Structure 1
Amino acid sequence: MKKFALLLFLLNVSFLFAQKEVSGVVKDNTGNALPGVNIIEKGTQNGVSTDMDGMYKIKVKEGATLVFSYVGFSKLEKATTDAVINVVLSEEGGQNLDEVVVTGSRTAPRSNTTTPLPIDVISSKDLASTGQASFDKALQYKIPSFNTVQTPVNDATSLLDPYEIRNMGPSRTLILINGKRKNLSSLLYVQTSPGRGETGADISAIPTDAIERVEILRDGASAQYGSDAIAGVMNIILKKSTNGGSVTARSGVTSEGDGEMIGVSLNNGSTVGDKGYINYTVDFSKVNLANRPGTVDAAGEAGDFGAALSDVQAFLAKKPDAGNINGSPETAAAKFLVNGGFQLSDETSLYYNAAYVYKKVNSFANYRTPYWRTLNPANPYLADFFGDGTAASYVGYVPTFVGDLNDYNATLGFKAVKNGWNTDASVTVGGNSQTYSVTNSQNRSDIQDANGNNVYQENSPITFQPGGTAFNHIVGNLDISKIVSDKVSIGFGTEFRTENFEVIEGDKASWDGIGADSFAGNRPENSGKWNRYNLGAYFDIAYDVTEDFLINGTLRHEEYSDFGGATVWKLSSRYKFADDKITLRGSVSTGFRAPTLHQIYTQKAQYSFVAGQGIQVSGIINNVSPQARILGVPQLDAEKSTNVTVGIGAKPSKNFNFTVDYYNIKVEDRIVLGDRQDTQFGNVAYFSNSFDSRTSGLDVVANYNNILLGEGKLGFNLSGNVTLQNERISDVTNNSFGDILNSLMFTSRPDTKWILGANYEVGKFGFSLNNTYFGKTTFNQDGLATNNPNAPVGSVDYLKANLKTEFIPKVVTDLGVTFSATEKLTLALNVNNLLNVLPEWKFVAENAKGVELLNDPAQVKNQSNLITFNQRYSQMTYDGYHFSQLGTMFNLSLNYKF
């Protein structure tokens, strides 16, 4: 036994001494560092990728040969005779392909300068340079057509802020991870804020340090990928390096001294035997509450709640913000992700990835002031619940909302190459669940038992479990492609998907009567489980008519178990000239978006702010309920779209390139959650295919790099999105859809957004300065003075004042500084919103009566109180704002490579 142990020890020692470490830098023939170059120890699966500075480090066996490869560049092999091997790769076809993309084509990968589709490529370094705490917020300051904001009173929305591309809502952008569909969130946005009636994938759950790059296809792609791709596709490519891991520590705080953030992330990789690899990321973070309440107006409060002005003033003297807590909630998150593969033979391989995220959010409802929830002879128990039993101790209460989110996804796949045929078969599972707790609240219902005793009120619990929601899917994919000749490549495949949605019942006290104050639970009759499945198939062909002229066509058909089928197609083309320096490109396609299970089956009671009336309870009835049949609400069908994109790309030199793309998206039978209506079932809203819409605009991207300045290099980038049209283009059917919802859907995101950045690298220092311009947004809000354009000319209703709110364009400036202290240690300081720019809005009159109203300060104050809940939300208004800001924020991170 001892001899055997000694033999193992000697073998291990000999193995260790037989390895050597090789490092270096990979550049193109102009001297630019190449990120993402694959470096493999020949004959094994031991490999790494270059970082954003083109650097690599790998441990190999003595005498090994390294293979350097990058799509669009000639493959290069180097013997490991030296410990430092710097490499220059030669480009194929004269293209600088530092942005090779796999998104947008079912045939062969192409560069973003040769693809017929507009695609943004955002590297991990780009994401980190923003200093933002989460992936979705980083995209906000990198992609002009991408927008996301926090809502004033968060509730369940605090777990996932609504986001969208091209003002199309979160449900019309398809999210992929390594080319495979990510599961939707279980959350349906029902608050009166941007994103209302929509659902989307939780991209904030993805750890940033696990991402190699993000490819964003800004074009309709339902024909290639299926439902949800009307506005575009976001493909998140995960890291697969097996060497050169790192640990990053992050911290941050706002200039107000709150919103403290702390986090630590580990990314590392390893070979598995001679033919496998694994890369994994572990990320923990905690962000404290940042509170930005307004100073509440006493007269407005007294009027809204029928309270004595003196009582209101006495309370506001102690709590000028009326106890409200709104801004950015406390959030804790743990994220785990693994990405790997194994070479079975020279022609076959297995691959896999898996992620799990747990997120906990603590937020608050509106403070129930003592003149709102009054202490009177009918309910003296409030002093016991929220005080020490004496009347003097009761000062109201603020219900808290706690959300627990679990999100997971995993893919297992098999790839094979035989006789030039590429086969990719995979199974993907994913799910999202959210459960809620409400504390420091009550059930105020006047319900009595058989003995005449109150079930609630003085016997009410103060902690409730309102239930939650859950969603999961299983997706099977089979994709086959082949380069048939030097002119033709084809791809075809099929997808099977099954989806499950659950509304989780709350405890009885949370829903009985009017339910828990602030957030009523899910009632038994509104809870349950629902599912469906669909089967799809596609065929894709790309034909290089000449070396410069490409035509690509795709046809897809899908069958859903609940509403039937959809057939869509796409035709795209690209033509290069002037020695490939200019590219003309365009596409036309049809698309579809299936109604989500959330939109079909959600039925609930909802607490909402009603201007001048405070918080009221209304409801949502689903499309398959008896109530919907009585009201004549039809069942939901798929949205249909027509997308047209035309653009030009130019690369006059190696260091300068720009693209301009025009897009036009028509959506028919758009699914919306309509206005609340008074019916025999109470004040309710419902989903329907209500109208057609059109969205058009311009995307601009320009880069100029490697400008020599002193001993360093300077680069500029400019990107922008301009909305030319975003409006309803047909009559509303099957629903009620007024000015409020119209503005939330069409004007509540910036009409234009630009990002101008500069980067300068010199020695061990790197500097970045980014300016993000948020254009104006407008809101027609609940309670705001408005006329009725359908009323007879000259009537009282027609002559009412008509106002809207307009958010004034603003520029947010971010500064970043990095210092490479050693080869392994890098420090980064980010000052976000350097100049402390905050959202600002104003009233705009839309008729003469509106102008007259704005000339009366008392009327203006009253209108302002209506849409800010008496100034509780002075920075935003109750329906939202055009960008989220807590003021200046300082972020410091340390990255150590090992």
Structure 2
Amino acid sequence: MNQKSFVSRAAMIIALSSSATVYAQTDPQAASATDGAAIIVTGTRLTGMKVADSPAPIQLLGADTLQRTGSPDLMQSLAQQLPSVQAQSFGSDLQAHNLQMKLRGLSPNHTLVLVNGKRRHGTANVSVAGGPYGGSAAPDVSFILPESIERVEVLQDGAAAQYGTDAIAGVINFLQKKADHGGSINATGGEYYDQGGKTYAIGGNIGLAPFDGAYLNISAQKKHKGFSFRGDINPQSINLSNTYPEIRNLPGYPYTNRIIGDPHIDQTVVNYNAGYEFGDYEIYSFGSYGHKKAAAYENTRPPTTVVSAGGVPYYAGGFQPQERIDETDYSVTGGFRGTLGDTTFDLASTYGKDLVKVYVYHSANAQLYADTGFTPETFHNGDFFNTQWSNTLDLTHAVDIGLSEPVNIAAGLEFRHETYGIRAGDPASYYGGGAQSFFGYSPNDAGKYKRDNFSQYLDISLKPLENWLVDGAVRHEHYSDFGDTTVFKLTSRYDFSDAFALRGTVSTGFRAPTLAEGGYSGLNVGPGFIGGVLPPASSAAASLGFGGLKPEKSTNFSLGTVINPARNFTITLDAYQITIRNRIMTSTAFSGFTGNRCPAGYAGGNAAACLPFDADQYAIYNQLAVLSAVNAALGGSSTVTDWRTADAIPAYVLFADNGVDRNTEGGVSVQSFVNGVKMRTRGVDLVASYVTDLGEMGKLDLTFTGNYNANKVLGINPLPSALYSSTVNPELTRLIDASSEVELEHSTPRFRGTFNAFWTWGKFSANLRESYYSQVYTLETARSGPDAGDLIKVPVKEAFITDLELGYQIAKPIKLSIGANNLFNKYPTQRSKEFIRNAELANGERGYSTSKYPTISPFGINGGYYYARVNVTF
């Protein structure tokens, strides 16, 4: 065993033998925010509930704990600290600019994000990828600053009846600072060990008292992050460089295809939290404003991609297009709360908007150039926008009916108005084959969608006995587009003694599709193909047999225990099961010509080009419906009886007159968001903590958090009636393909454990965090070997990741820290050279450059990151 592995395994053994909990990540400088006596506001309607008495599993992270991750990105900080949270490490196309996080291996859409207890609006940048992130349009937490946060409360329990019917996996509540004095300035800089990712962030927080009884807390941050690259050489460029020597001048040659890695980001964000307290009342407001500019490399194009009528390339050495966004995100909340007798009230209104403008740089429109002799190099591809206006009234009232404590009755109302839309891009971005690397959004894609939601809830909490807490909640919601639903939650906790308690929950959930899932539209027209996403409720999708999306429904069960075996030693263990029916995700791609699907009944001159790969094994599938749907989406007829008469599909796609071999890379295919699967998630959360005073040697906090999580697809919904299901090989004609199913089940680690030791000794501090990730994997087609043509497992093997930070208080207000995330520079398992990558290299395929590491890696693909930070408090 090498030294790195020995250190990692030894640290984990120490963690398991000493015990540990994140909710008790007890920072001596912020104990009130993280110890068992901290007052929580998430998961309960009771006033003054302590975290140690919570009937549901909840974990707390204080502001200092978040800072010790070394990352200025809030999502990464949460993922490093909480094993049940996984941050997306890489996203293709637009998703690269807005990575998401998931709780308990479910969709990001299943976690409700709150700021100061109020619902945060989602991003306009919906993910159209497959697997667990497909359809995600959750809030972009990068616009919530770590400097603004007092603490984070993570409720790991279904809470649809309490907060809203989409809180299936849980709730993350960011509670902001209310201090009216003092402040801090933080500066962080870092870089990956090997290459790229140069990062700096300068942020600050200040508390002001504008007048007596008022507070104004302001936080701001300027963040920069540079490109990283984790791909390989581009054999296509090497092979073409003798014919086109200008290729050697492309940046990074022969590593010219630089799509795999982090994007370039410049982001500025301001958060505020303000209020005025007078008597028993408070007027309050909080909000955020952020602006993000980001750029991500797309696949490199060879010189032959854009050629004049005379055969002269527009780019002599090829080109490296970049997809860029210009994003503005803001939110503002105003409210009035207080006490009237024994009744508390909170009346609030929140408006949030996210606007994403999409561009392509260093590109060209090959069809426009061929037709006119002109092409832009920069394109405005279109805009996305998402808004949310929510209005809430929350009431609580205590009634004494002779029990050990008064019965707490909570009730409330919520009205929410949401919009989502797409604006068309410049005509040049979608003319013909569109802008290379990212086809623009046409007027056929553009549209605006809206919905209203009205809900009411009732929550009753009582103690039939002194040590027995029972809490029941029921919520009714009416959607203007999905009708009515009622969900409930029943929670109970019994304290047998000060050292031992049992708790459990049963609840139901109902998640209406986001407007983005229902309205997103985008077709990409290439040199010999058309592919993309159809809105599920569109007439084009209806011609395939889709009838729009249905809501998801869920059932949650949990059972847990709280153990306090000794002073300063707490253990919680909670098991859970979540079943989701009609889970929304991205469908497989349905083809109009190639692969395992083809138009039926066609016997024309090109009939052979429409046959599947192996006519003896697979039937000819009825896919004229696919051509009809695509033709309709492009503004043509919705009934195509002969593929040659598809009037809106370009002829060069239908007839492949540009030399594209339709049997290998041409044709027509579409996807849509669908109610794809019934899915079950089972798991266990272990949280333990021990705090000890070492006397002259300082203070030591030991924490351990572990999560076992198993996702299982219980069933895949059938294809719509207009699509043919093969009786020869049904696996090839599924609504959700095998790779996406495996990603749902196995792209989240079955087990993840994190041990954290935080030691303070005078002016010195040290934080050691050791994380274990079990194996994850996906499926890909073997290119060579005995299983060539079949799906094989592509794993990221188990790994120990070590993080270390050392700090020194050089003066009372100034602290310097240095640290490293992934101290030993661990990379994920490389994709098989023997069965996949050697064939790509031998064939001179561009894909070799993008296939070095599986992008599902739970600890990223960039290796180690080192940083330094200075904190000044005043």
**231, 237, 247: which is aligned to 2:175?**
237
Contact map agreement 1:699 1:719 (CA 8 A) in 2:
yes
Match of 1:500 in 2: 419
Secondary structure, aligned partner of 1:113: helix
**Partner SS for 1:599:** helix
The equivalent residue for 1:53 is 29
- State the Cα distance separating 1:483 from its structure 2 match: 2.2
Partner of 2:595: none
In structure 1, distance between residues paired with 2:322 and 2:361 = 5
One-letter identity of the residue aligned with 2:81: K
SS in 1 for 2:516: helix
* Counterparts of 1:799 and 1:897, CA distance in 2: 61
Specify the alignment match of 1:420 in structure 2.
342
Q: Comparing both chains, which one has the higher relative contact order based on Cα–Cα distances under 8 Å and sequence gaps of 6 or more?
A: 2
Residue 360 of structure 1, CA deviation? 0.8
Shift of 1:700: 1.0
State the secondary structure of the residue aligned to 1:545.
strand
What is the aligned length?
A: 759
Q: 1:766 to 1:859 in 2, by over 3 A?
A: closer
User: Which whole-Å CA distance do the structure 2 matches of 1:254 and 1:672 have between them?
Assistant: 34
Equivalent pair of 1:751/1:775 in contact (CA under 8 Å): yes
Match of 1:561 in 2: 480
Task: Specify the code of the residue in structure 1 equivalent to 2:139.
Answer: A
Write the deviation string for residues 353-403 of structure 1: whole angstroms up to 9, x where unpaired.
011111111211111134x63768654151xxx3xxxxxxx2110111211
Structure 2 residue aligned with 1:600: 518
User: 1:669-697 CA deviation, whole Å, 9 max, x = no partner?
Assistant: 11121011021124111122233111111
Equivalent in the alignment of 1:573 = 492
Query: Which sections of structure 2, spanning at least 5 residues, go unmatched?
Result: 1-22, 592-625, 631-667, 721-733
Sort the Cα spacing of 1:785 and 1:739 in 2 relative to 1 into closer, same or farther, 3 A. Answer: farther
- The residue type paired with residue 588 of structure 1 is V
Contact 2:200 2:223 in 1 (8 A): yes
1:267 lines up with 2:205 in the alignment: yes
Deviation at 1:871, TM superposition (A): 2.7
Query: For 1:3-152, what aligned pairs fall within 5 Å after superposition?
Result: 53=29, 97-151=36-90
CA distance in 2, matches of 1:562, 1:813: 48
CA RMSD across the alignment: 2.9
Look up the equivalent residue of 1:273 and give its one-letter code. F
Q: Which residue number corresponds to residue 361 of structure 1?
A: 294
Change (3 A) 1:462 1:314: closer
Whether the 8 Å contact between 1:151 and 1:193 is mirrored in structure 2 is: no
Aligned to 1:14: none
- Deviation for aligned residue 1:876: 2.1
One-letter code aligned to 1:491? A
Which residue is 1:535 aligned to?
A: 454
Task: Name 2:596's counterpart in structure 1.
Answer: none
Is this contact kept in 1: 2:336–2:348, CA < 8 A? yes
| 1:860 to 1:459, Cα distance in 2 relative to 1, 3 A | closer
CA distance in 2, matches of 1:758, 1:410: 38
1:258 maps to which of 186, 192, 196: 196
Work out the CA distance in 2 between the residues paired with 1:786 and 1:422: 68
1:224 equivalent in structure 2: 162
The answer on 1:342 being equivalent to 2:258 is no
1:512-527 alignment to 2 at 5 Å? 512-527=431-446
1:719 maps onto 2:705 in alignment: yes
TM-score (norm 2): 0.82
How far off is 1:777 after superposition?
A: 0.9
Instruction: Compute the TM-score of the two structures, normalised by the length of structure 1.
Output: 0.80
Cα 1:530–1:703 change in 2 (3 A) is same
CA separation of 1:864 and 1:754: change in aligned 2, threshold 3 A: farther
Give the 3-state SS of the residue equivalent to 1:248 in structure 2.
Answer: strand
Match of residue 377, structure 2, among 455, 458, 462: 462
Question: Residue 482 in 1 paired to residue 421 in 2?
Answer: no
Asked if 1:201 corresponds to 2:201, the answer is: no
Q: Deviations over 1:468-499 (max 9, x none)?
A: 20000100000000222324111000100000
Distance 2:718 2:859 in 1: 30
- How far residue 785 of structure 1 moved from its aligned partner, in angstroms, is 6.5
Residues 201, 223 of structure 2: 8 Å contact kept: yes
1:380 maps to 312
2:149 is equivalent to residue 211 of structure 1: yes
* Bigger mean CA offset, 859-868 vs 569-578: 859-868
Who is 1:759 aligned against? Answer: 758
Distance of aligned partners of 1:736 and 1:722 in 2 relative to their CA distance in 1, 3 Å threshold: same
Ranges in structure 1 where 5+ consecutive residues have no aligned partner: 1-34, 37-49, 56-69, 73-95, 387-393, 448-453, 609-613, 788-795, 844-853
1:887 is displaced (CA, Å) by 2.3
- Deviation larger for 698-707 or 173-182: 698-707
The corresponding residue for 1:90 is none
Q: Which residue of 1 aligns with 2:646?
A: none
Match of 2:534 in 1: 621
- d(CA) in 2 for partners of 1:158 and 1:811? 26
- How far residue 606 of structure 1 moved from its aligned partner, in angstroms, is 4.1
SS of structure 2 residue aligned to 1:209: helix
2:315 equivalent to 1:406: no
Q: Among 836, 848, 865, which residue is 2:825 paired with?
A: 836
Match of 1:872 in 2: 849
**What is the rounded CA distance, in whole Å, between the counterparts of 2:458 and 2:410 in structure 1?**
6
The Cα offsets for residues 270-291 of structure 1, whole Å up to 9 and x where unpaired, read as 1121111111101111112222
Residues 842 and 649 (structure 1), Cα distance of their counterparts in 2 relative to 1, 3 Å cut: farther
Residue 261 of structure 1 deviates from its aligned partner by 1.5
Letter in 1 for 2:194: E
**CA displacement at 1:332 relative to structure 2:** 0.7
- What residue identity is the alignment partner of 1:532? R
**Residue 311 of structure 1: how far off its partner (Å):** 5.6
Q: Is the Cα–Cα contact under 8 Å of residues 443 and 509 in structure 1 kept in the other structure? A: yes
Query: Structure 2: how far apart are the matches of 1:881 and 1:831?
Result: 19
Closer/same/farther in 2, CA of residues 483 and 200 from structure 1, 3 Å limit:
same
Given that 1:296 and 1:316 are in contact with CA atoms closer than 8 Å, whether structure 2 keeps it comes out as no
Q: Encode CA deviations 1:811-831: one digit per residue, 9 max, x unaligned.
A: 111111111111111111121
* 1:141-193 CA-partner distances (Å, limit 9, x unpaired): 001010112326x4321221021001111111000000000000001111346
- Distance (whole Å) between structure 1 residues aligned to residue 542 and residue 511 of structure 2: 24
| Code of the aligned partner of 1:876 | Y
Q: Secondary structure at the match of 2:838?
A: helix
| Alignment-derived partner of residue 18 in structure 1 | none
Write the deviation string for residues 240-284 of structure 1: whole angstroms up to 9, x where unpaired.
111221111121122235322222111011112111111110111
CA deviation after TM superposition for structure 1 residue 324, in Å: 2.4
For 2:55 and 2:842, the matched residues in 1 are separated by 51
Note the C-alpha offset of 1:135: 0.1
Question: Secondary structure of the equivalent of 1:191?
Answer: coil
Kindly tell me: are residues 380 and 786 of structure 1, through their superposed partners in 2, closer, same or farther at Cα, counting changes over 3 Å? Answer: closer
Counterpart of 2:546?
Answer: 633
Structure 1 counterpart of 2:645: none
Aligned to 2:388: 473
Deviations 1:283-338 (A, max 9, x none): 1111122222213456xx89xxxx77976999689823234243111111111011
Please state if 1:693 is matched with 2:679: yes
Is the 8 Å Cα contact of residues 193 and 880 (structure 1) preserved in structure 2? Answer: no
The one of 705, 710, 720 equivalent to 2:691 is 705
Deviation at 1:97, TM superposition (A): 3.4
Query: Would the alpha carbon gap of residues 865 and 894 (structure 1) be closer, same or farther in structure 2, given more than 3 Å must change?
Result: farther
- Alignment partner, residue 65 of structure 1: none
Residues 546-594 of structure 1: per-residue CA shift (max 9 Å, x gap): 221111000000000011111100001001123x211211100000111
Q: Spell out the pairing of 1:142-221 with structure 2 (5 A cutoff).
A: 142-151=81-90, 154-192=92-130, 194-221=132-159
3-state SS of 2:444 partner? helix
Aligned to 2:363: 441
Superposed displacement of residue 719, structure 1: 0.6
